[in-house]
Structures are given as structure tokens and as C-alpha cells.
Chains A and B, each alone.
Chain A
Amino acid sequence: MKPIPAFSPLARVLHWLMAVMILSMLFIGIFMASSLGPSYHRLVSLHRPLGIAILVLALLRLTYRLRHAPPPLPNDLPAVLKLAAKGSHILLYALMIALPLVGWGMLSAGGYPIPLWGNAVLLPPILPHNPAVWSWLRSIHTVLAFTLFGLVLAHIGAALFHGLIRRDGVLQSMTGRKTPL
């Protein structure tokens, strides 16, 4: 079987950088959304710029991805798994872009100022002030975050399935390792 070529260095850097950012973001989010503790405000203040950074990187990455085809999946991978891989990747991209936008939109609708860094640099609102929309988007933000977390877990499980069970070189195409685990 022909070995699968690796992702380009830029694609790999974007992937691993965003992996760390998104996982941090999900953990910060779930922690602060339940917290009334001494780190609450610091985490909220970190959550906003990190979310905007993920949004910018996700858009860059999507542009790159649309211009550069990723390495193909192995030929012998069952069609249903190929479909699952493609579908979950589309959903991952959609959520990486939608979650920051929903967060930004919900704070806009809630009439909150949206400091990006410190309290001098503010983002403009992207939705009109409307408390009902704020409440709705606040719930949507949670639902989407749980969905993204679930997808990330499935993604990690699938990557390890390729690396440890099938040993078909798919995991290595993103880690850049030459030899299978």
C-alpha cells in the first residue's frame, strides 16, 4: 500500500496550534460558566480574545484548506468511515467559526461592552441590543460548545483508531512522524 503523504507544515502548525487553543477554550468556558470564584473575571477576559483568535485562525485555515487538498484517506477505509470523516471535519470547521460568532453576537445582544484586551480595546456589537436574543444565544453557545467538545473527543478517538488499530498512516499524516506507532 502506498504510504499517505503528510499534511503540509503550515496545515500541521495550524492544526496543532488550534487544537491547543480550542481545548483550552472549551475547558475555560465550562469552568467559568459554572464559576463564581476568584478567577471568574480573569477567565472571562481571556475567553474573549482567545475566541476571536480562534475565529481569525479558523477563517485563515478554511481558506487554506479550500485551496490545498488534504492527503487522501486510505483506499481501503470503509465508505461509511470516509463519510463520517468528511462530515465531522465540515462540522468542526463550522463550529470553530460559529462558536466565536455566537459568543460575540450574544454579548452584543446583551448590551454588554465587549473588551478584547484590557478595557480600552472594545469590539463593536454585531447584533442590536435585544435581551431575548441574548438569552437565546447564550443557550445556543452552550449547546454548540458541548457539540464541539463531543466532536473533538470523537476526532481524537478516530485519530487514535487510525494510529493504533488500523495503523494506516492517517495519524502520521498530521503528526509528521515517519514510522507508524
Chain B
Amino acid sequence: MAAKSTGPSGSALRWLGVAAAPAALALGFLWAGGWLSPNRVTQNRLMGELHDAGSYGQGFRRAHSKGVCVTGRFDASGAAASVSKAAIFHEQSVPVVGRFALGAGQPYVTDNPATVRSMALRFMPKDAPEWRAAMNNPPVLPLRDAQDASDFFSSQRIDPATGKPDPARVKAFGAAHPWLQAAAEKNAHRVITSGFADDTYHSLDSFLLVGETGTKTAVRWAMVPVQLVAPADTAAGGRDYLFQRLIADIHDHPLQWHMVLTVAGPHDAVNDPSQIWAQDDRTIDAGTLTLSAVESEDGGPCTGLTFDPLVLPPGIVASADPILQLRSGAYMRSFSLRSGEKRGPSAITPAMTQAPAAESEKKS
């Protein structure tokens, strides 16, 4: 082509050249942001689905909205020191900030023992990076990836006519996801305990522990209560009775859990939290969690934190489980949304978490 072309067609071609590169980049940018792929499960889409499924929002976490802050410590047993170099498995009296919550997206929901309960922890060893973990009481997570999660939360969309999810949609989700059926049944048949204190909390996702020499060990773990386990009572209490019981328990005596690691056996699915692991897997009692104080989320130390399960210290790395990525991204988005909103008082107020001087006098 003539380098000095000045004719109208040459000029038009040159103007096209000027516009083409920025236009191509802009198009690529739109694609990368998900605007050209309506089927992609984006962070905003998931937040929208949570909202439609009844998540309250307005300054509260998009899920696990009703909770209390707890503080305590973790003492390693040393039994996991050979599989992970993480400070948490070597040290004593590691400070812990945590949170107990109900899995629902409504911060004022009435306590129900069948609702998913969660324990989230932030371990803060003195001279090592922190670790955050968020665990639930069902043993497995009946979701395999972001698409499953999006399908599940859309199936939970609140029908304005009934104020509840449409049972047909809920059923359709189950029928369309047969690979999640075993996990759903396992969770449905779990033991429902009397409260937060005597419950077992599971990591759901798997992680790789990294030893001093670089050895990698795939594990899940559970926080197993030292407290005696009692079945849930059939006569439910008031709106906040599970939390009130937890507060009374923790004021009565520190609550303890063993952190029990389960090492993946040769047939266990490491990258899929919906798969049940073998019953005869090797376990390691890594240490004891002791929670000795409870505070309301209004002013409490757990409110301004997100318990992102990918905040990991040296010695623990993520498995390739896609749900970990989903949780990390979704928690970040929920945290940035709620932190910019005006927030009402928590269901569990500072007055409710005070030491029950009057209460205990009444009891004794």
C-alpha cells in the first residue's frame, strides 16, 4: 500500500486503524468483566441471587448474618507439627478471634436447631502470618463449584406469594444435580445437637498441609467439642435461645474443641467438598481451641473481618477445590458491600452478651 496515500479510501482506512486498536481493547475489557457472557457466574450475580433468596443485606453479611464474636486461644498438641510447618501447629496460646453464626442470610432470624451453624476463626500467632478458617456443622457441602452454588441459590429464590422458596424449584435443583444427592442425604441425617457449644464444625473444603521439607498432605478438619454432646430439644425456645445458651455456657466455663485433622486416603476426593471421605482415614488431634469470652457483633472484634478461607499462613495451601475460590471471592464482595452500608443493631446486643450476674444469682 502506498505510504503516502491521501485519497479518501486510504484516509478512511487510516482512521479505521486509529479506532481499531482501542475498540478491540474495549471489547476485550467488556468480555473480561463478564458483560458479554450472560451465563458466567460473577460476583455480582451471586450477590443478586443471595438477595433474591431472602438475604437481608443492609450492613450485614450476605450469609451467616446472625452471629456473635468470641475470643480465646489455640494450643497445639504438636501431633501435626510433622505434617505442617504452620506456626499454629507448633505454638501454645495462639490468640484467636472467632464468630459463631447461623447460616441464614437474615440477621434477625428465629433460632432453629436445624439451621446450619458455623464457627469462624482467625488465628493470630505472634511472629507468623495469620490464618482464617470458616467451618459449618454439616459434614459435607452439597455444592461442587460456582455453577452449583449459583443454581442452588437461584432455587432458593423467595416466592413473594408465600414468602418461601418455591418447593418445585427446590425439587428441580435436586433432580438436576444428582451428583450432590449423597452429600445432601448425609447432611440431612446428621445429628442435630443442643446448641453451638456441643456441635462439631467441619472445614468442608480440603487443604494441603506443607511440612518443613515440602511434603504435602491433603486434609480436611473438624472442631470436635470437648463439651458433652446433647441432642437438640424438641421444644424450641425464644428467638435467640441458641445464642443465649452459648453466652450462658461461655460465661459459665471456657468452651473447648479438639481440632481433628483427617488425612485424605487414596480414594478420597480432595478437590470436591460434596464427596464423603472414607470412614477409616487417619486422624490427627492437632490441638485444643479454648473460647473464653463472648461479645456482641455491635463493637465486637469479629465484625470488621471477613473469614476468607484463602487467608492462609505458610504451611497450609489451598487445594484445587473450586468452592474455595467461590468463597474467597463471595466473602470479599459481601464484606465490601456491607461495610459501605448503614447497619442496624445486631439481634444479639451488647447487653445480652454481658456476664449474667443477675441471671446466675437467679439460678443459684
Contact = CB atoms under 8 A, between A and B. Distances in A.
B314 interface: yes
Interface stretch (A4-12, A77-85, A96-104, A130-138): A130-138
Contact of A160 (B21, B310, B324, B340): B21
A130 B129 CA distance: 20
A181 B13 CA distance: 13
Interface stretch (B22-30, B64-72, B344-352): B22-30
B46 A180 contact: no
Nearest to B122: A111
B74 interface: no
B33 A34 contact: yes
B339 A164 contact: no
B19 interface: yes
B33 A31 contact: yes
A32 B33 CA distance: 8
A119 interface: yes
Interface of B: 3, 11, 14-15, 17-19, 21-22, 25-26, 28-29, 32-34, 40-44, 46, 129-130, 145-146, 149, 303-306, 308, 310-314, 317-318, 320, 322, 324-326, 328-330, 335-340
Contacts of B18: 157, 160-161, 164-165
Interface in A32-74: 32-41, 44
B128 to A, nearest CB: 9
A139 interface: yes
A62 to B, nearest CB: 25
Which 7 residue pairs across A and B have the least CB separation, nearest first?
Answer: A135-B340, A135-B339, A131-B339, A153-B22, A131-B304, A31-B32, A40-B325
Given A160-B17, A161-B18, A180 B3 contact: yes
Contacts of A165: 11, 14-15, 18
